[in-house]
A = this chain, B = another copy of it.
Amino acid sequence: MPNYKLTLSYEGTRYRGWQKQGNTGNTIQEKLESTLSRLLSEPVEAAGCGRTDAGVHARMQVCSFRTVKPLDCGETLQRLRQQLPEDIGALSLEEAEPRFHARLSCTGKTYCYRIRIDDTPDVFSRRWVLPCPGALDLSAMKKAAALLCGKHDYSAFCSLRHRKKSAVRTVSAIRLEETEGELRIFFTADGFLYNMVRILTGTLLEVGLGLREAESVPAILDSCDRMQAGPTAPARGLTLWEVRYGK
């Protein structure tokens, strides 16, 4: 069966996240699978690279799927663009190697958490940028961000009920960038635990607001205790920014 790689972007506001949940019909995976199945007249199952939470967006999400009949990628892409809802965009479609799998073949992901830091509101970005939570001490946040990187057991930064077998991940970078009145925090890792980026962000925001010292970070990691970390930042500020394959 031919194997395909589809790159999407979506505004997650009105969805219950990426992953299908029974037949609620309101997840991105379900919308995509039902559209592809109708379009190709055969049942299609699509594996996504990142399982974004309810309300989380994707600038770049990759999925893979197999079909019985080979596709004309250009034509299928055009028809997908016409038939997907307006808040899901099909960026590209190409045939993939037989063993390619969107999640298992992925070698790294970057999420971006966006926070308004200018007092002046921006109505146009409000669905994907958190409103200004108060004055932020960026240099303290950068110090904490550096301490959060590395290869660690990130259990303290995972919502308990969804803990995976191993909570060891390698976070290669947490980069803070100020641009056009907003702070963007880019998190790059080999993989992320459930809610991990949002809890890392909640913890960084506590540091930025002066509610916690940057130096408290190593003790949070060591504790492996979710209660020691900051709150889970709201979904709307989070975007799956980039996914990588190969070295």
- Name A's B-contacting residues (CB within 8 A): 9-11, 57, 59, 81, 86-92, 120-124, 126, 128
Contact = CB atoms under 8 A, between A and B. Distances in A.
21 contacts: A9-B121, A9-B122, A9-B123, A9-B124, A10-B123, A11-B124, A57-B124, A59-B124, A81-B121, A86-B123, A86-B126, A87-B123, A88-B123, A89-B120, A89-B121, A89-B122, A90-B121, A91-B120, A91-B121, A92-B120, A124-B128
| Chain copies in complex | 2
Nearest to A84: B121
A83 to B, nearest CB: 12
A124 B81 CA distance: 15
A101 B31 CA distance: 50
A10 B59 CA distance: 24
A159 to B, nearest CB: 27
A122 B10 CA distance: 9
A197 to B, nearest CB: 19
Contacts of A122: 9, 89
